[in-house]
Amino acid sequence: MIVEEKKKTLWGELRKGFITTNPLLVLMVGLCSALAISTRVENCIFMGLAVIFVLTCSNVIISLIRNFIPDQVRIPIYIVVIASFVTIVDLTLKTIPAVYERLGVWIPLIVVNCIILARAEGYASSAKVSHALMDGLGIGMGYTTVLLIMSVFRELFGTGKIVLFDKTIINLHIKAVPVILIMFPGAFITFALLSALLQWYQARKKPGTEEG
C-alpha cells in the first residue's frame, strides 16, 4: 500500500511538469532560450537534453546537501552546483561543432536560466531526493515538449520544411513562406498563440470538472 502510494506521487511529480506547472507556459521561467532557439527543431532537441541533464543533476545534488547548506549563502551554493553541470554540458557540446556554433551562446546562459534556480530554490531545497529527481525530469521534459511544439511550428511554416541532421524530413513545397515566423517577432507570436491555447484549454476543462 505504501509502495503504491509512493509510486503514485513519484509519477505525479514527473507528470506535473507537462501541464500544471509547465515551466514555460505556467511558471513563465526560462523564456529567453526557448524563444531564441526554437527556430530549428534540431537545436531544440540538444537544448532540451542539456536542460534535462542540468536540471536533474542539480536537483539531485541540492536535495542531497539540503540539510548542510547555511541559509544565508544558499543562492551562491546553488549557482556553483548548477554552473559545474553547465560547464560539463558546455565542454561536451563543443565536440559537436555544428551544433555548438548555433547553440553555444545559450549554454552558459543555462546557469542563469530561471527554471533551474527556481526549481532548486522552490523545490529541491525542501524535497526528498527521489522526488527531486522526478521533478527535474518532469520539468525538463515539459520544457522540451513546449520547445519542440514551438520549433516544429516555426520551422515548418517559417521555412516550409523541417531539416533534421542534414536530412529534409518534411517538405511542404510552398514558395512564399511567412518568414516572419523564424524571425524575432515570430517567436513572440508563436508563444502568444500557445499561451492562448492553454488558457482556452483550461477554461474549457474547468466547467467540465465542476459538472462531473
Q: Per CB under 8 A, does 169 bind another protein?
A: no
Given the complex with another protein, which of 169 and 193 has the nearer CB atom? 193
Q: Per CB under 8 A, does 29 bind another protein?
A: yes
Residue of 164, 175, 189, 167 lying closest to 99 (CA atoms)? 164
Given the complex with another protein, which of 33 and 134 has the nearer CB atom? 33
| Alpha helix positions (H), 65-73 | none
Q: Per CB under 8 A, does 117 bind another protein?
A: yes
Q: Per CB under 8 A, does 20 bind another protein?
A: no
Q: Per CB under 8 A, does 32 bind another protein?
A: yes
Q: Per CB under 8 A, does 11 bind another protein?
A: no
> What's the number of CA atoms in the CB half-sphere (13 Å) around residue 128?
7
Task: Figure out which of the listed residues 14, 31, 62, 182 binds another protein, where binding follows CB under 8 A.
Answer: 31
Given the complex with another protein, which of 36 and 137 has the nearer CB atom? 36
Task: Figure out which of the listed residues 64, 109, 169, 174 binds another protein, where binding follows CB under 8 A.
Answer: 109
Given the complex with another protein, which of 133 and 150 has the nearer CB atom? 150
Query: Reduced to 3 states, what is the DSSP secondary structure of residue 170?
Result: strand
Given the complex with another protein, which of 14 and 34 has the nearer CB atom? 34
**What is the per-residue binding string for another protein in 49-88, x denoting contact by CB under 8 A?**
--------------------------xx--xx--xx-xx-
- Least spacing, CB of residue 86 vs another protein, in Å: 6
> CB-based contacts of 168: which residues, under 8 Å, 6+ apart?
161, 162
List b or e across 162-175, with b for residues whose CB sees 16 or more CB atoms inside 10 angstroms: beeeeeeeeeeeee
Give the separation between CA 164 and CA 170, rounded to whole angstroms. 9
Cα separations (Å) of 170 from 18, 37, 38, 156, 159?
26, 20, 17, 8, 11
List b or e across 14-32, with b for residues whose CB sees 16 or more CB atoms inside 10 angstroms: bebbbeebbbbbbbebbbe
Q: Per CB under 8 A, does 185 bind another protein?
A: yes
Residue showing cell 517538405: 171
Contact set with another protein (CB under 8 A): 28-33, 35-36, 75-76, 79-80, 83-84, 86-87, 90-91, 105, 108-109, 111-114, 117, 183-189, 191-193, 195-197, 199-200, 203
